[in-house]
Structure 1
Amino acid sequence: MRAFACPVCHGYIAFESDQCTSCAAWVGLVLPSQEMVAIDVDPGATVVVGGRAWTHCTQRRTLECNWLTPADQEAEQRGRCLACSLIRREPDADDTLAREKLVPAVRALRRLVYQLDDLHLPLTPWWRQDGGLAFDLLSSYTAGKKVIIGHAGGVITIDVVETLDDYRERLRVALGEPYRTVLGHFRHEVGHYYQNILVENGDGAARHLDACRALFGDEQVSYSDAIERHYAFGAPKGWEESFISEYATMHPWEDFAECFAHYLHIADTIDTTREAGMVLRADRVRFSAPRDVAPLESYDDAPIEQLLFDWRWISLFFNRVNTAMGKPPLYPFELPPAVVAKLGFVHRVVRDTARERQAGAAL
């Protein structure tokens, strides 16, 4: 995640903030230019960026959104920024309990959308194209029935009750998961979406599908049978040698989605590390380190092994920081060669897609 600076005093501004804590200037985030810009607090205020007028998202108060949206946007966008416009269904306005939990859920959604845009992955909204990306953010506490987290036909469903720490922790322990967060849910489910549109269909099928099946398995096998088998017998013995998590063993679709989510975890944390100016100095640590680790500005042209080498040493540091605070390790996962190969495939799909989209935009 980029470190944002106040356009007035140049102090640090958090990704979620709409006001500088140092000089009190009101700001908003413009996604295409990836910058915070100064803008009057009035709802009708505008600011020109890149030759286009931008104004506050209509969800600024309701969902605590600090993003700006084009003043001349499409009517279907409902006055919302791109991230908020991707929400297809949400709790009713009078469902105050669910609406309260919706705010942190959408905060995680904005982080997801920012990263996907930064990676130059396609973000075609549901209101612009059938099968486009959509989010149903509902509450199993107030919807009258259990909300099943999942993806189908471009629609990602998230249970906003997952924002409750005690609820999410109970499930994490019951399911034997070393990691479970709302942002993690978003990243996993969007992995299903991108496997569908970038690997299994269109031009992606001709270029990537055979390689995907060779690494992850045949996605055509029965998903319902796989679910039944997984919850009846659990992960196969020795799963750690080929999979990043027990859940990934259930079906090739879940294996891909888990690896896609981890790719986003790793890429975002390394970006955040670089933006903080952090460098691991081999001559300053008390243990043997092979070289200095300075996160790259971009790993676009680097092999996955270089990204994961840097990540190994950076995550070692963050794991130690977490345990120093009495918390579990930040990244409690091992990356065996088989998983490295799978992450390498995700890396190729992401970078090939980005290059093609950038080349098309330049024409």
Structure 2
Amino acid sequence: MKIFDCPNCSSPLFFENTKCVSCGSSLGFDPDELLFKSVSDDWSGYCKNHELGLCNWLISAGSKNTFCPACALNRKVPNASDGENFEKWKPLETAKHRLVYQLLKLGLPLVPKSEADEGLAFDFLGSDNDDNKMTGHANGVVTIILTEADSVHREQLRKQMSEAYRTLLGHFRHEIGHYYWPLLFKYKNLDRFRFFFGDERKDYGASLEQHYATGAPKNWNENFITAYASSHPWEDWAETWAHYLHLMDTLETAGSLGLSLKPEIAKPSYLEMVKAQDPYTINDFKIIFDASISLTCAANSLNRSMGLPDIYPFIIADTVYEKLNFIHEILKDYRQRNT
């Protein structure tokens, strides 16, 4: 996520801001141009969820919509009178807005399921939901269980599931990968997908049962980004997709902050530093990947200096690199066909 500029005084703004702390201007996020603007006659005002302290996106004057493109995707949400669940929803909604921003940057379609059967919807449910649903994706509906917002509960699950990390934004990125899979592969590119990820026609339920019963293969890290990715080609896709989004977002942040990176970080005698570029403008994934290695090494070292775990505890094998590069090429091709 980039750091934005105030349209009135050019002071830095963060994604969730509604006011510039320097000049005091009331501001909102324009989802069409992906930047902040002053609340003026050009806008009917904020998204309806602004009243609940959940959204700072703007609605164009004359628009019939009361919800912004991010909030319009919500199908089931806690009632404001349900204090405990409502408070859990807030950080989840913040993470979802960051996801939607990135999907807009990538030029991917965002159609609410209320408008089209093949559209997208989000259900935010309590752990006591009637259908005993779990966090996941099915038929265009991403379900997020509100207990994910509880950091203690999330850490317990992370250890129980032997995950290197477990974050709110990571959940959204993984599940949205499942949603976009049919869009990108259902009628095209299937042979290319199967070359990198395997045959998705493999029984999904049986594959997951086997994974939970016996665990990942001994040398899973030679071919997969996570142990869970080894369970089935669809999960390999979703896990690798999520990591691609992680790399793109962190590099956009680095570039907007003016950070300089040393692509050949393994050679400390090299003093030349290269300013981080906006990854969404780069066609060659090798440039993005080299910068990401430099950035994550630096970030991990900073965390270790504070006695904290690595912010990015992953080693990218050559096979995984090829999968990430494939995702980059598929998205590039999609944008070229649809712009």
TM-score range, shorter chain: over 0.9
Is 1:47 aligned to 2:41, yes or no?
yes
Is 1:212 aligned to 2:193, yes or no?
yes
Is 1:352 aligned to 2:333, yes or no?
yes
Structure 1 residue 147 displacement after superposition = 3.6
CA distance in 1, matches of 2:280, 2:116: 31
Contact kept in structure 2, 1:5 and 1:36, CA below 8 Å: yes
Structure 1 residue 65 displacement after superposition = 0.8
Give the structure 2 partner of residue 8 of structure 1. Answer: 8
Q: State how many pairs are aligned.
A: 339
Give the structure 1 partner of residue 104 of structure 2. Answer: 117
Of 224-233 and 130-139, the range deviating more from structure 2: 130-139
CA distance in 2, matches of 1:220, 1:72: 47
Contact kept in structure 2, 1:115 and 1:268, CA below 8 Å: yes
Give the structure 1 partner of residue 23 of structure 2. Answer: 23
Is 1:259 aligned to 2:237, yes or no?
no
CA distance in 2, matches of 1:305, 1:37: 35
What does residue range 208-247 of structure 1 map to in structure 2 within 5 Å? 208-247=189-228
What does residue range 1-363 of structure 1 map to in structure 2 within 5 Å? 1-39=1-39, 46-48=40-42, 53-74=43-64, 77=65, 79-140=66-127, 142-143=128-129, 146-200=132-186, 205-206=187-188, 208-280=189-261, 287-289=268-270, 292-298=273-279, 300-358=281-339
Determine helix, strand or coil for the equivalent of 2:50: coil
Determine helix, strand or coil for the equivalent of 1:59: helix
Q: Name the amino acid aligned to 1:232.
A: A
Quick one: structure 1 residues 236 and 289, their matched pair in 2 at CA, closer, same or farther if it must change by over 3 Å?
farther
Using the size of structure 1 for normalisation, the TM-score is 0.88
Q: Name the amino acid aligned to 2:147.
A: V
Quick one: structure 1 residues 306 and 280, their matched pair in 2 at CA, closer, same or farther if it must change by over 3 Å?
closer
Quick one: structure 1 residues 131 and 340, their matched pair in 2 at CA, closer, same or farther if it must change by over 3 Å?
same
Structure 1 residue 295 displacement after superposition = 2.2
CA distance in 2, matches of 1:327, 1:164: 20
Contact kept in structure 2, 1:199 and 1:209, CA below 8 Å: yes
Quick one: structure 1 residues 130 and 174, their matched pair in 2 at CA, closer, same or farther if it must change by over 3 Å?
same
CA distance in 1, matches of 2:270, 2:236: 32
CA distance in 1, matches of 2:265, 2:214: 47
CA distance in 2, matches of 1:54, 1:288: 56
| Consecutive unaligned residues in structure 1, runs of 5 or more | 40-45, 359-363
Determine helix, strand or coil for the equivalent of 1:60: helix
Contact kept in structure 1, 2:247 and 2:292, CA below 8 Å: yes
Determine helix, strand or coil for the equivalent of 2:49: coil
Structure 1 residue 47 displacement after superposition = 3.3
Determine helix, strand or coil for the equivalent of 2:147: helix
Give the structure 2 partner of residue 361 of structure 1. Answer: none
Deviations 1:148-171 (A, max 9, x none): 111111111111211111010111
Deviations 1:70-90 (A, max 9, x none): 23334xx5x111101100111
Structure 1 residue 284 displacement after superposition = 11
Using the size of structure 2 for normalisation, the TM-score is 0.94
Structure 1 residue 23 displacement after superposition = 2.4
Quick one: structure 1 residues 144 and 12, their matched pair in 2 at CA, closer, same or farther if it must change by over 3 Å?
same
Structure 1 residue 290 displacement after superposition = 8.4
CA distance in 1, matches of 2:183, 2:263: 42
Q: Percent identity?
A: 39
Of 239-248 and 10-19, the range deviating more from structure 2: 10-19
CA distance in 2, matches of 1:252, 1:264: 18
CA distance in 2, matches of 1:155, 1:70: 27
Q: Name the amino acid aligned to 1:61.
A: E
Of 171-180 and 90-99, the range deviating more from structure 2: 90-99
CA distance in 2, matches of 1:312, 1:212: 25
Deviations 1:6-53 (A, max 9, x none): 2222211111011122222211000111221122xxxxxx532xxxx4
Structure 1 residue 127 displacement after superposition = 2.0
Quick one: structure 1 residues 26 and 283, their matched pair in 2 at CA, closer, same or farther if it must change by over 3 Å?
same
Q: Name the amino acid aligned to 1:337.
A: D
CA distance in 1, matches of 2:27, 2:300: 34
Determine helix, strand or coil for the equivalent of 2:29: strand
CA distance in 2, matches of 1:194, 1:242: 22
User: Structure 1 stretches (4+) deviating beyond 6 angstroms?
Assistant: 282-286
Determine helix, strand or coil for the equivalent of 1:104: helix
Contact kept in structure 2, 1:299 and 1:307, CA below 8 Å: no
Q: Name the amino acid aligned to 2:91.
A: P
Structure 1 residue 338 displacement after superposition = 0.5
CA distance in 1, matches of 2:314, 2:119: 32
